[in-house]
């Protein structure tokens, strides 16, 4: 399983980081996790086969996490040559179906009927969905918005956990136990921490509690300045830690 960071930023724009988007390749699954502003252009820049996407999973309905979904689908419908015929599954929290219907009212019926098979799947905390033979997506509640989820992607003995947006949560730590790679949001420096996001210290503590093998920090607000979040998280977690940059690629080992 491979992970490529397309956007390691947030809603706050910077020249270095676009909004949240992560490409997970676990053949035959090509999964896009979140789809914030900049996703398509970053995917092209990093030579991701974006048009071969099989699944698109949204963690929650903040626009920085799914604001480019319609644009992505528009590109799949009219921006590929030859036209797409492969099916697409869009997965998200409860309320996704209704929101997609609203998007269709705003943008056109093609949102729900893009002329390739489209399946819209709602998933709740504690549920899982088989994406392909032996590749499973799992969901866990996170303390961020009413609907927000973390996702786990399991292929054989390899498991990638992406926190989406979250505050500190013991439930999340228990659920993430044994993950090969923890992709954890790390929005704010310790001194600016709030309940609905993680700081480097909290992300490090989460990785330690989960017994993660490898911690990748992401979702940085620009206020970090010169602070190295990986160095701060290392006080809590003694495994390998990387502060993600757009374009980083990771091999998610067993
Ligand atoms: Zn966010
Ligand atoms: Zn959010």
- Ligand of minimum distance to the alpha carbon of 218: 1
Q: How far does residue 108's CA lie from ligand 1's centre (Å)?
A: 27
Q: How far does residue 162's CA lie from ligand 2's centre (Å)?
A: 13
Q: Report the predicted TM-score, pTM, of the whole model to 2 decimal places.
A: 0.98
- Ligand of minimum distance to the alpha carbon of 64: 1
Q: How far does residue 224's CA lie from ligand 1's centre (Å)?
A: 15
pLDDT at 242: 98
Q: Is the pLDDT of residue 110 over 90?
A: yes
Range of the domain at 7: 2-251
pLDDT at 253: 85
**Average pLDDT across the chain, whole number:** 97
Q: How far does residue 85's CA lie from ligand 1's centre (Å)?
A: 32
Tokens of 221: 């607000």
Q: How many domains does the chain have?
A: 1
Q: How far does residue 11's CA lie from ligand 2's centre (Å)?
A: 9
Q: Which residues sit with Cβ closer than 5 angstroms to ligand 2, an ion?
A: 62, 165
- Ligand of minimum distance to the alpha carbon of 60: 2
Q: Is the pLDDT of residue 191 over 90?
A: yes
Q: How far does residue 161's CA lie from ligand 2's centre (Å)?
A: 17
Asked whether 60 and 163 are in contact (CB, 8 A), the reply is: no
* pLDDT level of residue 132 (50, 70, 90 thresholds): very high
Q: Mean pLDDT throughout 179-205? A: 97
Q: Mean pLDDT throughout 194-201? A: 97
Q: Is the pLDDT of residue 254 over 60?
A: no
pLDDT digits over 227-243, tens only? 999 999 999 999 999 99
Tell me what percent of the residues of the chain surpass a pLDDT of 70: 100
Tokens of 22: 């992560």
What is the C-alpha to C-alpha distance for residues 64 and 71, in angstroms, rounded to an integer? 13
Residue 151 three-state SS? strand
Q: How far does residue 2's CA lie from ligand 2's centre (Å)?
A: 24
Q: How far does residue 143's CA lie from ligand 1's centre (Å)?
A: 12
Q: How far does residue 66's CA lie from ligand 1's centre (Å)?
A: 10
Map tokens 């689908």 to a residue.
73
Q: How far does residue 109's CA lie from ligand 2's centre (Å)?
A: 28
> CATH code at 12?
3.60.15.10
pLDDT digits over 20-41, tens only? 999 999 999 999 999 999 999 9
Q: Mean pLDDT throughout 100-119? A: 98
4 bridge partner residues: 23, 249
Q: What are phi and psi of 14, to 5 degrees?
A: -135, 165
Asked whether 142 and 166 are in contact (CB, 8 A), the reply is: yes
Q: Mean pLDDT throughout 171-181? A: 97
pLDDT digits over 50-67, tens only? 999 999 999 999 999 999
Q: How far does residue 83's CA lie from ligand 1's centre (Å)?
A: 32
């Amino acid at each position: 399983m491979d992970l490529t960071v397309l956007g390691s930023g947030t809603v706050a724009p910077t020249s270095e980081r676009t909004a949240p988007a992560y490409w997970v390749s676990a053949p035959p699954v090509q999964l896009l996790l979140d789809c914030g502003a900049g996703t398509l252009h970053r995917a092209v820049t990093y030579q991701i086969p974006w048009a071969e996407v099989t699944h698109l999973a949204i963690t929650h309905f903040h626009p920085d996490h799914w604001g480019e979904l319609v644009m992505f689908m528009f590109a799949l419908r009219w921006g590929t040559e030859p036209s797409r015929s492969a099916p697409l599954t869009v997965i998200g929290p409860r309320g996704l179906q209704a929101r997609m219907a609203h998007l269709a009212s705003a943008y056109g019926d093609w949102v729900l009927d893009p002329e390739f098979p489209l399946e819209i799947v709602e998933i709740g905390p504690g549920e899982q969905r088989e994406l392909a033979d032996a590749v499973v997506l799992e969901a866990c509640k996170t303390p961020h918005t009413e609907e927000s989820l973390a996702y786990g992607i399991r292929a054989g003995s390899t498991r990638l956990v992406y926190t989406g947006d979250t505050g500190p949560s013991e439930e999340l730590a228990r659920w993430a136990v044994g993950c090969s790679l923890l992709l954890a949001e790390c929005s704010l420096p310790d001194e600016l921490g709030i309940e609905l996001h993680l700081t480097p210290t909290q992300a490090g503590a989460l990785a330690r509690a989960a017994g993660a093998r490898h911690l990748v920090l992401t979702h940085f607000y620009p206020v970090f300045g010169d602070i190295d979040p990986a160095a701060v998280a290392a006080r809590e977690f003694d495994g390998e830690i990387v502060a993600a940059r757009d374009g980083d690629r990771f091999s998610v080992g067993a």
